[in-house]
Structure 1
Amino acid sequence: MTMTSILQYLNSVDQSVFLFFNGFHNSFFDTLMWQVSNRWVWVPMYIAIVVANVLHFRSDWRKLIGVISVFLIAFALSDYLCVQLIRPWIARPRPAQDDSVIWQLVHIVNDYRGGHYGTPSSHATNTYMLAMLTMLFFRRRKLTLFTFVWATLQSYSRIYLGVHYPGDILLGGVLGISVALVCYGIYRWMMREDGCKCCPYLQLVEYTGLLILLALVVSAFVTPYLDCLLAVL
Structure 2
Amino acid sequence: MLKKLLEWDRDTFIYLNNLGIDDHDVFWTAVTTISNWTPLFLLFIVLLIYKYGKVEGLYKVLTLLVMLLFVLSLTYLTKEWVARLRPNNDTQVNTLIRILQSPHDYSFFSGHAASSFSITTLVYLFLRKKMAWTWVFFLWPILFALSRIFVGVHFPIDILVGMLVGITSAALFYKFHKSFIGKIRLGRSEGR
Q: Does the TM-score normalized on the shorter chain lie above 0.5?
A: yes
**Contact 1:78–1:126 (8 Å) recurs in 2:** yes
Tell me the distance in 2 between the aligned counterparts of 1:152 and 1:100: 28
**Alpha-carbon shift at residue 141 of structure 1 (Å):** 4.2
Tell me the distance in 1 between the aligned counterparts of 2:97 and 2:132: 37
**Contact 1:53–1:64 (8 Å) recurs in 2:** yes
Partner of 1:230 in structure 2? Answer: none
**Alpha-carbon shift at residue 51 of structure 1 (Å):** 1.9
Superposition RMSD on alpha carbons, in Å? 1.5
Partner of 2:79 in structure 1? Answer: 87
Unaligned segments of structure 2, at least 5 residues: 184-192
Question: What percentage of residue pairs aligned between the two structures are identical?
Answer: 26
2:33 is the alignment partner of 1:42: no
TM-score normalised over the length of structure 2: 0.89
1:189 to 179, 188, 191: 179
**Alpha-carbon shift at residue 116 of structure 1 (Å):** 3.1
Partner of 2:4 in structure 1? Answer: 9
- The number of residue pairs the alignment matches comes to 181
C-alpha deviations, 1:49-91, integer Å up to 9, x for none?
Answer: 1122233344x51x122111111011111011002x1111111
Tell me the distance in 1 between the aligned counterparts of 2:75 and 2:96: 27
What SS does structure 2 have at the residue aligned with 1:133?
helix
Unaligned segments of structure 1, at least 5 residues: 1-5, 194-233
Tell me the distance in 1 between the aligned counterparts of 2:106 and 2:94: 13
Partner of 1:67 in structure 2? Answer: 60
C-alpha deviations, 1:28-61, integer Å up to 9, x for none?
Answer: 2111000000100010111121122233344x51
Partner of 1:129 in structure 2? Answer: 118
Tell me the distance in 2 between the aligned counterparts of 1:26 and 1:184: 39
